[in-house]
Structure 1
Amino acid sequence: MKWLAVGVALLAGPACAQDVAQAPGGILRWLDKVSGETADIELSRGQSAVSGRLTIQLDDCRYPVDDPASDAFAHLTITDSSTAGSVFAGWMVASSPALSALDHPRYDVWVLR
């Protein structure tokens, strides 16, 4: 019975998948939690920007073909000049910013579209 449930779940997954298209770029919002400063950052795929101590690179950006304004998601690589390595590397979803969030004591970054 357990294997039947697993099989049904695996078969139902592709049926729920949305068709997506790659966007040429995306818009992110950056927040400095200490000063309260915010900025909207518009990046093309592969482009990076420096905000505060963070370097934010937009690796990829996608959106649902059926409703482009509904739910963009972007793959970001974020580094902090005061630490070695990246502080975030992964997908962020515009409609659910807490699902995969940057965990940084001073800065916050999320996808707008």
Structure 2
Amino acid sequence: MRWVALVALAAGLIVSAAHSQEVEQGTGVNLRALDRLSGYLTDLDVPIGGTVDYADRLDISVVECRYPADNPTGDAFAYLLIRDTVADQQVFEGWMIASSPALNALDHPRYDVWVLRCNRS
């Protein structure tokens, strides 16, 4: 009997974990970039499908930005492509999450880039 209760509990956890959060699409993303050498911070606004040049070194392209429908300022999920133009290689491709910037971060010796929020207009 105890085994049946454990199986039912596990099934309930799996079903509740599968519930997804409702999200909206942003029109762009607000990023912050840090030059670790100088300590200089720069805020960047990039539209969806757009690319911005940062410090004549990184090309940052935004593929998509999503935010929670019930709390637009609560978080942001941005799919970014970042290319080092001097080394001629892609240094990042993936989702960055505003509330967890270290979860999937840009690994560059001089620059940090992270998501602040999605633009909604």
Output the TM-score relative to the length of structure 1: 0.89
Q: What's 2:44 paired with?
A: 41
Which residue is 1:84 aligned to?
A: 88
Aligned residues: 111
The C-alpha deviation readout for 1:13-64, integer Å capped at 9, x for no partner, is 222x210010011100011101112110001101010012100011100000
Q: Secondary structure at the match of 2:63?
A: strand
* Residue 67 of structure 2 is aligned to residue 68 of structure 1: no
| Distance apart, 1:80 and its partner CA | 0.2
- Within 5 Å, give how 1:101-112 maps onto structure 2: 101-112=105-116
Deviating above 3 A after TM superposition, structure 1's stretches of 4 or more consecutive aligned residues are 4-10
Rg bigger for which structure?
A: 2
- The question of 1:58 aligning with 2:62 is answered yes
For structure 2, which runs of at least 5 residues remain unmatched after alignment? Answer: none
Identity of aligned residues (%): 47
Corresponding letter in the other structure for 1:33: R
RMSD: 1.8
Superposed CA offset, 1:54-111 (max 9, x none):
0001110000000000001100000001223310000000011001100110000000
